[in-house]
């Protein structure tokens, strides 16, 4: 039986995978990068459009509801719709309130270890898949600006926690039905599901795991950290799934609130 022999010259700092051969893989390795590009591009287009809309992001007292889109919470601008603000207003900001806050969830996702792997592969082909050569001649990793900024991930993680608290508060606020009392609608469940997925995404973060499990010489002396580390480690293994689920659901939540606010959809009361 004939054997195929190949050798790849490795040049430090050069194109990973070698200068001559792109790949020997014969499977459809390109499917995953194509799907990633499609979903992330669709999300970026939709969220940018939604952020600039500056309307239909809140369903308030006139509809006996208290539902706010996660893209607009906390609503801090002068222009916030009546009832949508959480009490603190940045006077002088008259553009869309979403533009004030998007940097934080966006920074959290952009610097996420999983998304980095994903979009480096999908958008930059660096490398596009395992055992497929880089599309670039050189590789400098994350040692220079702007990619060195990826090291800010742990700080975006803390900001993400503050947003999770806010969105959980919004979900509880959605139990309030002005003029009717308290109850649960489809919208309430959507907001609770969104907050839950965002918490699971944050808790499964590698920076979170390091926060509880890193720098510990003996877990015996840190029983709470050990308990939490054991709870979140299985979630950490599912970080990729949680990253996609929470991303898609946050967009779905905005769509839901937007449709109800515009009158295209009824937010049915369950009890």
Q: Which is nearer to ligand FES, 73 or 164 (CB)?
A: 164
Shortest distance in whole angstroms from residue 208 CB to ligand FES: 7
Tokens 């839901």 appear where? 256
Neighbours of 79 (CB within 10 A): 14
Plot region of 17 (φ>0 → left; ψ -120 to 50 → alpha; else → beta): left
Shortest distance in whole angstroms from residue 168 CB to ligand FES: 18
Shortest distance in whole angstroms from residue 112 CB to ligand FES: 3
Work out which of 40, 67, 112, 235 binds ligand FES, going by CB under 6 A: 112
Is there a contact between 164 and 191 (Cβ–Cβ < 8 Å)? no
Residues 138-157 touching ligand FES, rule: CB under 6 A, are: 153, 157
Number of residues that bind ligand FES (CB under 6 A): 9
Please give the backbone phi and psi of residue 118, each rounded to the nearest 5 degrees, phi first: -70, -50
Work out which of 46, 104, 113, 226 binds ligand FES, going by CB under 6 A: 113
Shortest distance in whole angstroms from residue 195 CB to ligand FES: 16
Tokens 């002396």 appear where? 221
Q: Which is nearer to ligand FES, 93 or 158 (CB)?
A: 158
Count H helices, E strands: the chain? 9, 6
Work out which of 195, 207, 232, 261 binds ligand FES, going by CB under 6 A: 207
Shortest distance in whole angstroms from residue 107 CB to ligand FES: 11
Q: What is the DSSP string of 145-178?
A: TTGGGGGGHHHHHHHHHHHHHHHHHHHHHTTEET
Shortest distance in whole angstroms from residue 261 CB to ligand FES: 30
Binding mask of the shown chain, residues 212 to 241, with x at each position contacting ligand FES by CB under 6 A: ---------------------------x--
Burial 9-40 (b: 16+ CB within 10 A, else e): eeeeeebbbbeeeebeeeeeeeeebeebeeeb
**Among 83-91, 133-141, 202-210, 248-256, which window interacts with ligand FES (CB under 6 A)?**
202-210
* Contacting residues for 217 by C-beta, under 8 A, at least 6 apart: none
CA gap 57, 73 in Å, rounded: 9
**Among 44-52, 106-114, 131-139, 219-227, which window interacts with ligand FES (CB under 6 A)?**
106-114
Rule CB under 6 A: say whether 203 interacts with ligand FES: no
Q: Enumerate binding residues for ligand FES (CB under 6 A).
A: 112-114, 153, 157, 205-207, 239
């Amino acid at each position: 039986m004939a054997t195929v022999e190949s050798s790849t010259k490795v040049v430090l700092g050069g194109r990973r995978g070698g200068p001559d051969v792109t790949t020997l893989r014969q499977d459809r390795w390109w499917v995953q990068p194509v799907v990633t590009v499609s979903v992330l591009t669709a999300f970026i287009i939709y969220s940018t459009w939604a952020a600039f809309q500056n309307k239909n992001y809140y369903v308030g007292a006139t509809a006996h509801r208290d539902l706010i889109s996660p893209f607009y919470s906390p609503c801090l601008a002068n222009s916030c719709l009546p009832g949508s603000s959480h009490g603190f207003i940045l006077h002088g900001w008259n553009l869309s309130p979403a533009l004030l806050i998007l940097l934080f969830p966006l920074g959290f996702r952009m610097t996420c270890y999983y998304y980095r792997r994903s979009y480096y592969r999908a958008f930059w082909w660096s490398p596009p898949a395992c055992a497929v050569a880089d599309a670039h001649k050189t590789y400098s990793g994350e040692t220079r600006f702007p990619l060195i900024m990826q090291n800010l991930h742990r700080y975006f993680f803390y900001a993400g926690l503050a947003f999770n608290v806010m969105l959980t508060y919004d979900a509880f606020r959605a139990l309030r039905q002005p003029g009717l009392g308290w109850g649960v609608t489809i919208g309430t469940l959507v907001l609770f599901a969104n907050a839950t997925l965002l918490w699971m995404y944050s808790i499964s973060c590698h920076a979170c795991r390091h926060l509880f499990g890193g720098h510990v010489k003996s877990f015996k002396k840190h029983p709470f950290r050990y308990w939490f580390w054991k709870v979140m480690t299985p979630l950490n293994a599912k970080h990729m799934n949680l990253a996609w689920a929470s991303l898609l659901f946050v967009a779905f939540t905005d769509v839901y609130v937007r449709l109800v606010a515009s009158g295209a959809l009824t937010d049915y009361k369950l009890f």
